[in-house]
């Protein structure tokens, strides 16, 4: 029995975290916070991805596909590694690909992806995104303190600003040998000068340039004195520059998470689709060949996106060769060092553990002690199996949403018995698909 909940870790969940968890999961989306309270299984996958983080912190690069059916937990795993990376001192940025956000394009679709990544830049102390300015401010403040301690001067003293700019240039000069590094370095220096002169317009211009918001080179030259802007063709070069920059100023590296890669698979124009696959291949090759530093890229996609020999990555000979499974990999064996991590279904025990944790979060959030028994959890799983089928039970998203719905109904209607509710003829699992096409390659599921 799961009576009288006594999980001390659970009891420490802040209200804002439990609220975010329950609201997100009941809506079928992945929460940004509190994931560690409900994470079950995936130990081998997380261990492999954590190893990647360690390699990147030492100056390496990594690239991983996280692949699974709709609802299997791809986005959940990506958010879990995002939170872990922030806690370890990385800068993270994530974006969902879409028809408007791609990796290559001629109508600012790739630039839109870059802008979304920059908008979502986050750190441990600024986990909600929009952290570029805060990263720069923190770095400059650190240098100001270092100069003050090293020289004994104060910010108002003559020569103090020159010493600060000298230290700033020590960092940015390290970038000038990289592609577009000279202009990137000049923009960073322009931000410092805006900071020193208390010129908000110059600081805002530098931030706009870093976020890829300048529309023309003329505009950028007028505001900052640089002759280039970030566009569809160059955005990834600046991702590599930013990764090197944040590592130079004290972070462990840059983590990029690109979810919903199935939208590349859905591109109907063959030339456009191939251009996006080629860009992805260039990013993959950079990581595998050591051409990128302090950069880890995760891409979430479906099996069709990877394996379809007509429109997926396997339709391209170069990709097919790079993603081919080892001939020694037999059924029942796993190789988490491969570029593709395939998410296996949760076991029955793992799913029970997940539902138990959700029941605990729900009880603590609404401050009640009555819990659901292990037998009732099994009855719930069986009820979902009867309506969805065992294959759908392996994807947790719909099961979780239904379970939270049941908990809400029971909490708001205490006269209703658990068994009576789930065995009622009107109970219909939210993931049931009357047309039998719930696992369609074009279904839109998030978790």
The structure tokens 């949403």 sit at: 401
Check residue 250 and give its pLDDT. Answer: 94
Higher per-residue confidence, 402 vs 81? 81
Check residue 230 and give its pLDDT. Answer: 97
User: What does the DSSP assignment read for 187-200?
Assistant: HHHHHHHHHHTT-H
Higher per-residue confidence, 390 vs 144? 144
Which pair of tokens denotes residue 212? 């890829």
Contact (Cβ atoms closer than 8 angstroms) between residue 19 and residue 365: yes
Check residue 438 and give its pLDDT. Answer: 40
Q: How far apart are CA 199 and CA 211, in angstroms?
A: 19
The structure tokens 């064996």 sit at: 333
Every domain of the chain with CATH number 3.40.50 lies at 42-123+251-342
Q: Give the strand pairing for 61-67 and 340-342.
A: parallel
Q: Which secondary-structure segment (H or E) carries 110?
A: helix 109-119
Q: Give the strand pairing for 295-301 and 61-67.
A: parallel
In the predicted structure, residue 75 carries a pLDDT above the cut 80: yes
Name the percent of the chain lying above pLDDT 90: 54
pLDDT band at 391 (very low <50, low <70, confident <90, very high): low
Report the candidate in 365, 360, 372 with the shortest Cα–Cα distance to residue 410: 372
Beta carbons within 10 angstroms of residue 354's beta carbon: 21
Is domain 42-123+251-342 classified as CATH 2.40.170?
no
Check residue 11 and give its pLDDT. Answer: 54
Beta strands in 55-116 (DSSP E): 61-67, 91-96
């Amino acid at each position: 029995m799961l009576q009288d909940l006594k999980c001390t870790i659970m009891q420490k969940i802040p209200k804002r975290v439990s609220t975010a968890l329950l609201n997100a999961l009941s809506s079928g989306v992945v929460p940004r916070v509190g994931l560690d309270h409900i994470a079950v299984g995936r130990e081998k996958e997380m261990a492999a991805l954590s190893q990647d983080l360690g390699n990147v912190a030492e100056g390496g690069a990594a690239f991983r596909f996280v692949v699974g059916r709709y609802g299997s937990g791809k986005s959940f795993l990506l958010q879990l590694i995002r939170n872990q990376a922030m806690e370890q001192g990385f800068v993270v940025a994530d974006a969902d690909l879409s028809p408007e956000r791609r990796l290559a394009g001629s109508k600012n679709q790739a630039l839109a992806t870059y802008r979304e990544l920059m908008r979502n830049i986050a750190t441990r102390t600024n986990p909600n995104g929009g952290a570029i300015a805060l990263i720069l401010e923190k770095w400059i403040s650190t240098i100001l303190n270092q100069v003050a301690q090293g020289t004994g001067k104060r910010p108002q003293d003559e020569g103090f600003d020159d010493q600060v700019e000298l230290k700033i240039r020590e960092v940015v000069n390290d970038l000038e040998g990289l592609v577009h590094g000279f202009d990137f370095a000049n923009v960073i220096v322009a931000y410092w000068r805006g900071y020193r002169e208390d010129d908000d317009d110059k600081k805002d211009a530098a931030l706009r340039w870093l976020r890829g918001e300048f529309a023309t080179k003329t505009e950028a030259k007028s505001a900052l004195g640089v002759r280039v802007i970030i566009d569809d063709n160059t955005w990834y070069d600046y991702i590599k520059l930013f990764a090197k920059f944040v590592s130079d100023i004290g972070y462990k590296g840059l983590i990029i998470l690109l979810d919903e890669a199935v939208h590349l698979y859905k591109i109907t124009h063959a030339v456009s689709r191939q251009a996006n696959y080629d860009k992805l291949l260039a990013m993959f090759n950079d990581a595998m060949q050591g051409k990128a530093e302090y950069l880890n890229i995760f891409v979430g996609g479906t099996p069709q996106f990877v394996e379809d020999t007509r429109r997926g990555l396997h339709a391209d000979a170069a990709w097919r060769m790079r993603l081919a499974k080892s001939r020694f990999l037999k059924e029942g064996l796993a190789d988490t060092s491969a570029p593709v991590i395939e998410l296996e279904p949760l076991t029955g025990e793992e799913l029970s553990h997940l539902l138990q944790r959700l029941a605990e979060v729900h009880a603590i959030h609404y401050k009640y002690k009555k819990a659901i028994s292990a037998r009732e959890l099994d009855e719930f799983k069986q009820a979902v199996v009867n309506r969805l089928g065992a294959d759908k039970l392996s994807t947790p998203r719909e099961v979780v949403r239904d379970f939270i719905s049941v908990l809400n109904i029971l909490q708001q209607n205490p006269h209703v018995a658990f068994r009576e509710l789930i065995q009622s003829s009107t109970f219909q699992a939210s993931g049931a698909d009357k047309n039998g096409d719930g696992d369609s390659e074009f279904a839109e599921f998030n978790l």
